[in-house]
Amino acid sequence: MPALHDLLAANPYPGRGVLCARTHSGAVLGGYFLTGRSPASRDRALRLIDGELVVGPLAPGEHDPLRHYAAVTATSDWLVVGNGEQVAQAAQRLRAGASPTDALSGFAYEPDPPIRTSRLTALISRDGGRTTVFGAARPSRAARPTSNVMTLAVQDLQAGEAVLLTTYESDGEQVSVAAPFTEVTVNARNGAELLDEIWGALDERFRIAAAVIDPTEGAECAIQRSS
C-alpha cells in the first residue's frame, strides 16, 4: 500500500479529505483537511464552535453553504467527519435512530460545475474505532449528471493502516474526480504525529487547515494545524 504522506505529496491539490487511521500505538483516529486555490476558497478557517469543528470565513461574513459547514461533530455513538453540510444532516439522522448506511444515503455531489465536488463523510464508532463507515456522493467520470453514491464499511484496522478519501486528483492546475478511496499506510505513533504526516505532505500553496480527532473524545480535544 502507498504511504499516506507520499500519496498526498503526489497530489498537490487534493481539495478536501477525510481519513481514518490506526496509529502504531493502537489508537484509531479520524482526520480532516482542507485546501484551496481561489481567494474565496482560501478565505476560511477551522474553529471549535459549540463542540463542533466548523469551517467558516476568516472574518464574519455571509454564509456560503458550499464553503462553510460543520466538518466534525459527534453523536453518542459516532464521530462524524466530512466536507460539507451533509455532516450535520448525517448526525441528525443518526440521532434519530438511522443506521450508518441510511444516515449516509440520498446525498449528491456539490452543485459547483464544472468541478462537481464530491461530498465525503466518515462515521467512526466511538467504541475505540472498531468500525468506520465512509460515505461518498461523487460525480461520474462519464457525462451523466447523477451521483455515484458509495458506502464503505471498514472494520478492525491494523496498526499503521488508514483509509483516505479526497475530493480531487490534481497537479495544482487540472482537477479531476479522485478515486473512490485509497488504503494507505501511516508511520504515526500518536495523533500529533499523524497530523504532522498530513500537514507536511500538503502543498504549501494550497493548504488551509487540518485536524486529527480521537473519536472517544470528540471535536473538543482535536488537534489542529492551519496556514
216: alpha, beta or left? (left if phi > 0; alpha if psi -120 to 50): alpha
pLDDT at 165: 98
Q: How many domains does the chain have?
A: 1
Cβ atoms of 14 and 195 within 8 Å: the answer is: no
- pLDDT tens digits, one per residue of 18-38: 999 999 999 999 999 999 999
- pLDDT tens digits, one per residue of 117-147: 999 999 999 998 899 999 999 998 787 889 9
Stated length of the chain: 227
CATH of the domain at 116: 3.60.20.20
Which residue is listed with cell 464499511?
153
Residue-number span of the structural domain to which 100 is assigned = 4-226
CA distance 98 to 46: 28
